[in-house]
């Protein structure tokens, strides 16, 4: 069953040089129940705008959003099954973290007993700092408290906008583990946006790559990267190896080796070509392309317009 289904979603804001600035263009995707799903893109790619439309905080120009089969705008009650943290965490600075969670529960008409708040604070690593005023919190501490706030209503769907912003490496690792547990241990569906591709590669089951508001690629992380490999070859003479291989595969000569853009099935053919031309081979190593490499290959190097 799909937890989230987006159909032909589009949204424009204002004008730039006599034309509308389109943040999202005809975006369609599906997030299955129990998945950790990543929206990937540079800053300004349209990720936050998409999340805001999913939560019915921004009305799309065209298209529809369904959560568990319910149209978000027509059946607004379905959002009670959703918890979200969008564009950072904002709290009352004069209140403690614990008190902020209590206030949010009251405002949202969420029955949240004290043990539940204690549990959430422990989950996000904020127990010891929960009684301090938020004005003394670092960005990372606010992010952690925001995660706890998103889980107050024990939602089936958790939507997180750049959840690791402001965290140190240890904090990022902890939140990565926490997000995976939400899906694997607690059965929740997580939709997150991020530009930190290395982290997303370790968290997400499936990803959608968005560039200038357009869906570029979408799929299972392992499937997207399975054929995206390179061969690192140490051979002599190196210049001759490049001449032999370059008509068939893209090659880049390094100081003592060359990199060949070839998948796993091509490896025997690459080696055979070198042997055929009596080039000595010392080592052949297969390198799987990272999600960051793949992202750059499908989006190019262009800078995005200033939309979010």
How confident is the model at residue 234, as a pLDDT? 92
Lowest average pLDDT, out of 55-64, 126-135, 169-178, 284-293, goes to 284-293
- The domain locations on the chain are 2-224, 230-288
Backbone angles phi, psi at 238, to 5 degrees: -65, -40
Q: What average pLDDT does the chain have?
A: 87
The total of other beta-carbon atoms located within 10 Å of residue 18's CB is: 5
Question: Which of 3.90.79.10, 3.40.50.300, 3.30.470.20, 2.60.40.10 would CATH assign to domain 2-224?
Answer: 3.40.50.300
pLDDT surpassing 80 at residue 263: no
Tens digit of each residue's pLDDT (9 = 90 or more) over 19-44: 777 899 999 999 999 999 999 888 88
Beta strands in 181-228 (DSSP E): 189-194, 206-211, 214-220
For residue 36, count CB atoms less than 10 angstroms from its CB and return exposed for 0-12, middle for 13-18, buried for 19 or more: buried
109 or 307, which is more confident: 109
Q: In which residue are the tokens 């968290």 written?
A: 203
Judge contact between 71 and 9, C-beta under 8 A. no
Lowest average pLDDT, out of 136-140, 157-161, 201-205, 226-230, goes to 226-230
- pTM exceeds 0.75, yes or no: yes
Q: In which residue are the tokens 């902890």 written?
A: 174
Question: What single string gives the DSSP state of each residue in 141-180?
Answer: HHHHHHHHHHTTT--SEEEEESTTTT--HHHHHHHHHHHH
Mapped onto helix, strand or coil, the DSSP state of residue 57 is coil
Q: In which residue are the tokens 């009684």 written?
A: 131
Tens digit of each residue's pLDDT (9 = 90 or more) over 287-300: 776 777 777 767 77
pLDDT surpassing 50 at residue 5: yes
């Amino acid at each position: 069953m799909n937890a989230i289904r987006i159909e032909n979603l589009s949204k424009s804001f204002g004008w730039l040089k006599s034309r509308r600035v389109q943040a999202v263009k005809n975006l369609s995707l599906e997030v299955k129940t129990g998945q950790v799903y990543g929206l990937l893109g540079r800053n300004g790619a349209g990720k936050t705008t998409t999340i805001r439309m999913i939560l019915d905080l921004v009305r799309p120009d065209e298209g529809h959003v369904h959560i568990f089969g319910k149209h978000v705008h027509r059946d607004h009650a379905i959002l009670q099954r959703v918890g979200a943290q969008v564009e950072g965490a904002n709290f009352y600075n004069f209140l403690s973290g614990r008190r902020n969670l209590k206030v949010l529960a009251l405002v949202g008409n969420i029955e949240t007993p004290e043990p539940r708040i204690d549990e959430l604070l422990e989950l996000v690593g904020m127990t010891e700092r929960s009684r301090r005023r938020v004005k003394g919190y670092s960005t990372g501490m606010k992010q952690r408290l925001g995660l706890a706030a998103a889980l107050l209503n024990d939602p089936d769907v958790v939507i997180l906008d750049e959840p690791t912003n402001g965290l140190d490496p240890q904090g990022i690792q902890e939140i990565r583990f926490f997000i995976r547990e939400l899906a694997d241990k607690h059965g929740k569906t997580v939709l997150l946006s991020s530009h930190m591709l290395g982290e997303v590669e370790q968290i997400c089951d499936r990803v959608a790559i968005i560039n200038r508001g357009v869906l570029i690629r979408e799929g299972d992380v392992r499937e997207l990267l399975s054929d995206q490999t390179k061969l690192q070859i140490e051979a002599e003479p190196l210049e001759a190896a490049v001449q032999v291989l370059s008509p068939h595969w893209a090659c880049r000569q390094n100081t003592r080796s060359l990199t060949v853009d070839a998948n796993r099935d091509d490896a025997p053919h690459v080696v055979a070509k070198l042997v055929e031309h009596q080039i000595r081979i010392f080592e052949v190593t297969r390198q799987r392309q990272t999600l960051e490499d793949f992202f750059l290959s499908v989006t190019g190097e262009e800078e995005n317009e200033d939309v979010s």
